[in-house]
Amino acid sequence: MGEKLPRGPGGARLRSDTSSRPVQTLRVKMVLLGSSGVGKSSLALRFATDEFRSTSPTVGCAYLTRAVHLSDVTLRFEIWDTAGSEKYHSVTPLYYRGAHAALLVYDVSQRETFVRAQVWLKELEKQYIPGSTVIWLVGNKVDRAQGRQVSVQEGRSLANDRGLFFTETSALSGDQVSELLFAVAHRVHECTGAQQGGLSEWKETPHVDLRRRDTITPLVSCCKVGP
């Protein structure tokens, strides 16, 4: 039997890297921001390999990739998983500058991470022109429903007030993770596909070892997108 692939909204499949690719492959830089322990590394791994495993705290920033094939183009996501620890806070802007998409992640069972996500948002707003980055508020660990401290309504209200997109996920079960990546891909492509100076063409960077979880070499983009 063939490999079971994750599905996007409406049952659309996210094709694997071995599928026939459209002619053009474009680069999308996506960064995950949030407190330590909210599941950013687990989400990044789900995005990249559709797997879950326990991870150690990220040191600096980890880098993974994933190709998402839309109807007329392939988007190669560079997924930057930033450290949530305070001691890395000062260097984090090096990794999210030039991001086409930013995911602000909090743990629905830990209210302080929801508050902290709003601090990350203020920091992010200092680094980009309003409307230049697709920003998603992500409530992770919905598998911990019995211990929930942040309601769906609170997350959605914050997103609406700040002009963000909103989704709740579970990196553990995979619930809504592939759908989130698919939605981000469509939104980024929709906002940049027809723009001059939009997404740049993907180029391999053989000096980066994608097997390492502690890769910290930053890449900076000048591309702009709108929400």
pLDDT tens-place values along the chain, 227 residues long: 433 334 554 444 455 454 554 458 898 999 999 998 999 999 999 999 998 876 654 444 577 889 999 988 899 999 998 764 444 455 456 767 788 999 999 999 999 999 999 988 988 887 776 667 899 999 999 999 899 999 999 999 999 999 999 999 999 999 999 999 999 999 998 876 545 456 767 666 544 444 444 333 333 333 333 33
For residue 131, the model assigns a pLDDT of 61
64 - beta bridge partners?
79
For residue 141, the model assigns a pLDDT of 97
For residue 69, the model assigns a pLDDT of 93
Element holding 104 (H helix, E strand): strand 101-107
Q: In one letter, which amino acid is 86?
A: E
CA distances to 5, 24, 97, 111 from 201, rounded to whole Å, are 25, 7, 18, 40
CATH class of 14-192: alpha beta
For residue 215, the model assigns a pLDDT of 34
Instruction: Say if residues 178 and 7 touch (Cβ distance below 8 Å).
Output: yes
For residue 211, the model assigns a pLDDT of 43
For residue 81, the model assigns a pLDDT of 86
